[in-house]
Structure 1
Amino acid sequence: MADIVLTTYPAERSRNVGDALITHSMIELVRARVPAFEPVVMFRETPLDELPRETRHRVFAPGFSVANGTYPALFPLFTDLDRMERFWPVGCSFQANLPERASFETPYGKDTLAFLKRMAERFGPFPCRDQLIVDRLERSGVPAFYLGDLALFDEKRIGTALRVPPPVGTLVITLQHHVRYLEQIVDLAKRVRARYPEWRRLVSMHAVPNPMNRVLAARMAELGYELLEVHGEVAKLDLYETVDLHVGYRLHGHLHFLRNRKPSILMVEDARSYGFSRTQGTAFGCVDAWSQESREPDDTAPERALALLDEQMASGFSGYAPLLAFIDRTHAERVSPWFDAVAEVLNG
């Protein structure tokens, strides 16, 4: 028997550290229960047909995409799906550019729907990272349930208190994915500088710089921001250890701070963040960067984000207590039992 982990981390392309964090989190959750767990990690686009036929394979897919065409376009898996002894998609994701409910309502094609139903019938309901993904699957007749994004759960931190920032500390802004927010993020950076002039201010890249990132990095430097490049393996996120507060666009920047019990404000720029912001329990700290009315970036978003931050500073960041309690409860009621069940199979 061989264990395979299909990572969404594109080591040869963007080196998006958020994908590395998803895979790292899943492996750590398994190893906490099965210390000898040493899977073969492969990129999700790798066809598995060349693996030895005489070996049965158990396949883990952290952050498995339940978008149209997921199999075989995004995850080739095996041509003969029966070669999988077990298939564990977990923290299932969905991607779309626009942060709106309509993004989650596009119907599945018949081939994708047949694949999803077949996998659910054989291996059980899909554990999803936000409630809108659960709703999308269930409307299509595919069993699913909410588990949360794996990046939220560091079992060494579960149950611990919020690490409240000092009166003057260090703040990081994470850069967005989409060029449409170019003017908005510069406005946000200017407002942060004016609002908190004594704070140390950083700007962070979660992926290998593209032309937009380079333009923004130069503009941020002009505004007095120091640059952090955290793209790459998950160890790069250690650069955040001395950072007290996050305000920005990267969903997994937001989740990394929450998992480490630090406050964060997420600018909701696409469907990934939208689903998180519309899940009961994880909505706090999310600010819509996109206007549903004008269908353009919302000019009021930076000021709304900083008004929320001001309010939380005044209250000792009290608004994060229910959010952390929800993460702890989700871990106790959903995450830990799911991984306990996986461990029983691996130890069997």
Structure 2
Amino acid sequence: MKSNSNKYFIALTGAKKNVGDFLITERAIALLEKIAPEYEFIKYNHWEAFKDMNLINGSQGIIILGGPGYQMNMYPGVYKLRKDFTEIKVPIYTLGSGWKGKPGDRTTEKLYKFTDSAKFLLNSMEKTFAGMSCRDHQTVRALTNNGYKNITMTGCPVWYDLQSLGKEFQAPQKLNKIVFTPAQDYVYSDQSIEIMNYLKERFNDSKIIVSFHRGIGEVDEFTPESDAINTKKLANHASDLGYEVVNVSYDTNKLKFYNDCDLHIGYRVHAHIYFLSKRLPSILIHEDGRGNGVTEALNSPGIDAYTVSTIFSRLFGVFNTNDFLAKAYGRIGLKLNMNIINELDSTLNNIQNSNYATYQKTSKFIDEHYKVMEGFIKKMIYGKGAL
């Protein structure tokens, strides 16, 4: 619904089913409203094309809220916007968006290439006064490799829980409750089961909760049958082990029980970030570059679910940005990490033996980097914003 004035922005949200996307939207809007309270932020689904151009062009601009938005086919593959891009007369911005490189190593970064239509959108955003906001350094490098320079690494909006900023990390005295988030990609299904079995052995005295961010077992407009079969399989195995199984899709209120838990281990990027933002420990298992980017940016504990073939890495590494090779490398350049249990066990030992010292640094970094996010938002909202 249109505001009574033109003091509003269009906030593009990717919140369909995955609770992580709802969390991004919630935290991003909270940041925007805190820093620019005199403006209204009207949510609009990014997968839907603009219809009311008076609403769009009557705004101060369009803000893409986080998520893996810098995909190679981001326009119109991710953001429909408008078929005739020239009909959009206001600037477009991003707020803590990331790439979606697969597998996620330096060769992936080097090959990552945007389509011509995606570059049309990127060129428009780079020309704005604020430029582009990224959630991690890998995204920055992927954009830089494609010739873009007007970039700020702000971090993801979910980093910044306004109620937790400034709070010190407190190491848990005992791991009473542990959350495990399985992989979404069925390729890592058996690996997720292997980790669940390991957790049963290592933390036999702890309550373990298996949390599904995109639902369990149901086929709907956002979930193909293959995903439904996989999540049902994982949920059944978790139940057989005696774990509590929860479906937290659609609603961030369902995540509140995380606040009373002592540790997260798993594949869901925004479960990891949620824990870190609340000053709680987490270990992220990387399915692809989305996870790698977060771990590097926050210098937090992370483990690759995959291993990269040295042969393919060297072979593809001689090429520069190339969308065809990037997709091919993502399909054939990686294998499952068969040593993941040993790596997870070693990571847990190091964390506990150091009394969780690394998380104190992460909490401090989030607090300090908030100034970067705040500065970008002020530049975006109050700057010239000229196309």
Q: TM-score, normalized by length of structure 2?
A: 0.82
Is the Cα contact below 8 Å between 1:91 and 1:128 reproduced in 2?
yes
Match of 2:78 among 49, 58, 74: 74
- Pick the aligned partner of 2:27 from 25, 28, 53: 25
User: What's 1:330 paired with?
Assistant: 369
1:1-348 pair list within 5 angstroms: 1=6, 2-10=8-16, 15-52=17-54, 56-57=58-59, 58-63=61-66, 65-78=69-82, 79-81=84-86, 83-104=88-109, 105-143=111-149, 144-209=151-216, 210-279=228-297, 282-293=298-309, 295-332=334-371, 334-344=372-382
The residue matched to 2:168 in structure 1 has which SS?
Answer: coil
CA offset at residue 24 of structure 1? 0.9
SS in 2 for 1:85: coil
How far is 1:196 from its partner? 1.4
User: How many pairs does the alignment contain?
Assistant: 339
> RMSD value over aligned CA atoms?
2.1
- The residue type equivalent to 2:379 in the other structure is A
Structure 1 Cα separation of the partners of residues 56 and 276 of structure 2: 43
State the Cα deviation string for residues 200-259 of structure 1 (Å, max 9, x = none).
Answer: 111000002221011000001111211121111222211212211100000111000001
Q: Unaligned stretches of 5+ in structure 1?
A: none
For the residues of structure 1 that align with 2:77 and 2:194, how far apart are their CA atoms?
38
Asked if 1 retains the 8 angstrom alpha-carbon contact of 2:211 and 2:248, the reply is yes
Provide the C-alpha distance between the structure 1 equivalents of 2:194 and 2:144, rounded to a whole number of angstroms: 40
Query: Could you tell me how far apart the structure 2 residues matched to 1:70 and 1:253 are?
Result: 24
The answer to whether the 8 A contact 2:130-2:379 is kept is no
> What is the rounded CA distance, in whole Å, between the counterparts of 1:34 and 1:337 in structure 2?
12
Verify the 8 A CA contact 1:153 1:259 in the aligned structure 2. yes
User: Residue 227 of structure 1 aligns to which amino acid in structure 2?
Assistant: V
Once residues 326 and 206 of structure 1 are traced to their aligned partners in structure 2, the CA distance between those partners, rounded to angstroms, is 27
SS of the residue aligned with 2:155? coil
Could you say if the C-alpha distance between residues 183 and 308 of structure 1 is closer, same or farther in structure 2, counting changes exceeding 3 Å? same
CA distance in 1 between counterparts of 2:55 and 2:173 reads 57
Deviation, 1:293, is 3.5
TM-score (norm 1): 0.90
Matched to 1:337, the amino acid is G
Q: CA deviation at 1:92?
A: 1.7
Q: Percent identity?
A: 23
CA gap 1:54/1:256 in 2 versus in 1, 3 angstroms: closer
Structure 2, unaligned runs of 5 or more? 1-5, 217-227, 311-333
Deviation at 1:59, TM superposition (A): 1.2
AA at the equivalent of 2:199: V
The aligned amino acid for 1:69 is N
Q: Name the CA shift for 1:44/1:310 in 2 (closer, same or farther; >3 Å).
A: same
Deviations 1:125-176, CA, capped at 9 Å, x for gaps: 2110111111111121212221111111112211211132232410010011
SS in 2 for 1:99: coil
| CA apart distance, 1:315 | 2.4
Deviation at 1:177, TM superposition (A): 1.6
Tell me the secondary structure at the aligned position of residue 156 of structure 1.
coil
Deviation of the 1:345 alpha carbon: 6.0
User: How far did residue 36 of structure 1 move?
Assistant: 4.9
Q: By how many angstroms is 1:7 displaced?
A: 0.2
Match of 2:246, SS state, is: strand
Aligned-residue offset at 1:53: 6.5
Q: Distance in 1 between matches of 2:88 and 2:107?
A: 36
Q: 8 Å contact 2:175–2:262 — kept in the other structure?
A: no
